[in-house]
Amino acid sequence: MIVRGQRSVWLRSWGAWQRGLRQQQQLQLTPPGSLVRACLGGPPTRPIVDMSYSRHFLDFQGSSIPISMKKLVVTKLNSNFREAVSLRHDAPVPLPGDGDLLVRNRFVGINASDINYSAGRYDALAKPPFDVGFEGIGEVVALGLSASEKYAVGQSVAYLKAGAFAEYTVVPAKEAIPLPSMKPEFLSLLISGTTAYISLKELGELSEGKTILVTAAAGGTGQFAVQLSKKAKCHVIGTCSSDEKCSFLKSIGCDRPINYKTENVAAVLQKEYPKGVDVVYESVGGEMFDLAIKSLAIRGRLIIIGFISGYQTRIGLPASHTEMLPAKLLKKSASIRGFFLNHYYSEYQMAMKHLVEMCEMREIVCEVDFGDLSLESKFTGLESVFRAIDYMYMGKNIGKIVVELPHSVNSKL
């Protein structure tokens, strides 16, 4: 029986058959012509279907999985997310392979680099259409046989993978992160938390009594840089754009929040920190980068986390006065190191495990921002991703921006 709008047993078998065809293609067991005939409607020639897999695949434990779903797709390379990305309403729900999980996304994270990705800056060869969104958490609703060794339907998982701005995402089981429960706070750890944790551990050389300057300190990753530096017994200065953010920063232990809209950051640093700062966690770029370099102490180090002030420009880079940089660094035996999370996968699992534990034990605050105070409404549904990105670039967010995806399909999960 084919149930309108829902996957039926027939469709699941079709999925297994389609998978069989894919396997044939990969193994090149079937001449391409017969595959084409099969796809054009003739009876499948000799689909290779692993019956154990197929049996397992039939076990959805009552979850209702639709045939099609909504997802965001980059259709034109552009750093203006609204120009670059379209909402598709009828994308096929992807089928998990043998080692995969099908995850129904519950919360997806907004990142400053979503607009770098939509502009094709992550991959010079990227050609639209392609999927977008870096991270999500959700429930496993179906899975392949090998994946079932470690996972089961109903389990909460997190993942990092392009294509999170969708109702469902296929995630290789070996890349998924099992979660103790479905809390949006965990989403704030996936990219934002781990970036602060790993970069400060590997490059920060933090120790008691050091002074650290965190820029965009009240944002997704800044909040963790502040708290982890306090845990390392450092003195923390944090820049942000409002008094409300300053109050938040104080509440998470920041010693000297600076609202750069009402205070001159360079003057504050010069006056209150005449010896300079030992470490900078820098993610704004442009003028903020220049003044951070100027404020470095002898043997100080600046970690480049990002340069958000330039992402909306055509080339994605802010203007900066770097001509004198070698001389400025030499004069202070100072250094600059870049950090990109993708290059630190070997540290990732351990960092995530520790952060989840700290979050569970309430040893760190994982502030999430659903846009409750935005002019329109809370960030709910994929349609609201566009608003959520605007909200970040208006500098409104406190903590990690999260979009909730309500479940439109009845489920027994």
Q: Which of residues 118-157 bind ligand NAP (CB under 6 A)?
A: none
Binding flag, residue 63, ligand NAP (CB under 6 A): no
Binding flag, residue 392, ligand NAP (CB under 6 A): yes
Displacement of CA 336 from its chain's centroid (Å): 25
Displacement of CA 373 from its chain's centroid (Å): 22
In whole angstroms, the minimum distance from the beta carbon of 35 to ligand NAP comes to 41
| Residue 369 in tokens | 């921002």
Binding flag, residue 387, ligand NAP (CB under 6 A): no
Which one, 189 or 216, has the nearer CB to ligand NAP? Answer: 216
Which one, 38 or 160, has the nearer CB to ligand NAP? Answer: 160
From CA 367, how far away is CA 155, in angstroms rounded? 24
| Residue 135 in tokens | 């991270």
State the CB neighbour count (10 A cutoff) for residue 320: 17
Which one, 147 or 284, has the nearer CB to ligand NAP? Answer: 284
Q: Which of residues 196-215 bind ligand NAP (CB under 6 A)?
A: none
Residue from 341, 358, 359, 405 in contact with ligand NAP (CB under 6 A): 341
Choose the binding region for ligand NAP from 146-154, 160-168, 170-178, 236-244 (rule: CB under 6 A).
236-244
Binding flag, residue 395, ligand NAP (CB under 6 A): yes
In whole angstroms, the minimum distance from the beta carbon of 204 to ligand NAP comes to 14
In whole angstroms, the minimum distance from the beta carbon of 283 to ligand NAP comes to 3
Binding flag, residue 280, ligand NAP (CB under 6 A): no
Which one, 60 or 311, has the nearer CB to ligand NAP? Answer: 311
Which one, 195 or 229, has the nearer CB to ligand NAP? Answer: 195
Ordered alpha helix ranges (H), 134-215: 184-188, 194-199
Cβ–Cβ under 8 Å, residues 372 and 401: no
Residue from 192, 227, 374, 384 in contact with ligand NAP (CB under 6 A): 192
Binding flag, residue 245, ligand NAP (CB under 6 A): yes
For residue 395, which of 325, 322, 312 has the smallest C-alpha distance?
Answer: 312
Cβ–Cβ under 8 Å, residues 6 and 66: yes
For residue 112, which of 197, 200, 227, 222 has the smallest C-alpha distance?
Answer: 222
Binding flag, residue 70, ligand NAP (CB under 6 A): no
Binding flag, residue 229, ligand NAP (CB under 6 A): no
Binding flag, residue 227, ligand NAP (CB under 6 A): no
From CA 318, how far away is CA 298, in angstroms rounded? 26
Residue from 24, 79, 111, 384 in contact with ligand NAP (CB under 6 A): 111
In whole angstroms, the minimum distance from the beta carbon of 397 to ligand NAP comes to 5
State the CB neighbour count (10 A cutoff) for residue 222: 27
Who contacts 128 (Cβ-Cβ below 8 Å, separation ≥6)?
Answer: 73, 74, 75, 76, 77, 84
Return the sign of the alpha-carbon dihedral for residues 259, 265, 269, 271: negative
Which one, 10 or 122, has the nearer CB to ligand NAP? Answer: 122
Residue from 221, 227, 295, 374 in contact with ligand NAP (CB under 6 A): 221
Choose the binding region for ligand NAP from 1-9, 120-128, 188-196, 265-273 (rule: CB under 6 A).
188-196
Could you tell me how many residues of this chain bind ligand NAP (CB under 6 A)? Answer: 29
Cβ–Cβ under 8 Å, residues 301 and 205: yes
Q: Which residue has the tokens 């259409």?
A: 129
Can you give the C-alpha Rg of the chain in angstroms? 24
Residue 186 one-letter amino acid? F
Phi, psi of 35 (to 5 degrees): -65, -45
Residue from 118, 148, 195, 384 in contact with ligand NAP (CB under 6 A): 195
Calculate the CA dihedral of residues 239, 244, 250, 255 and round it to 10 degrees.
Answer: 30
Binding flag, residue 241, ligand NAP (CB under 6 A): yes
Q: Which of residues 291-320 bind ligand NAP (CB under 6 A)?
A: 305-306, 308-309
For residue 155, which of 64, 61, 68, 69 has the smallest C-alpha distance?
Answer: 61
| Residue 73 in tokens | 């797709």
Binding flag, residue 397, ligand NAP (CB under 6 A): yes
From CA 70, how far away is CA 165, in angstroms rounded? 9
Question: Which residues are near ligand NAP by CB under 6 A?
Answer: 111-113, 191-192, 195, 216, 218-222, 239-241, 245, 283-284, 305-306, 308-309, 339-341, 392-393, 395, 397
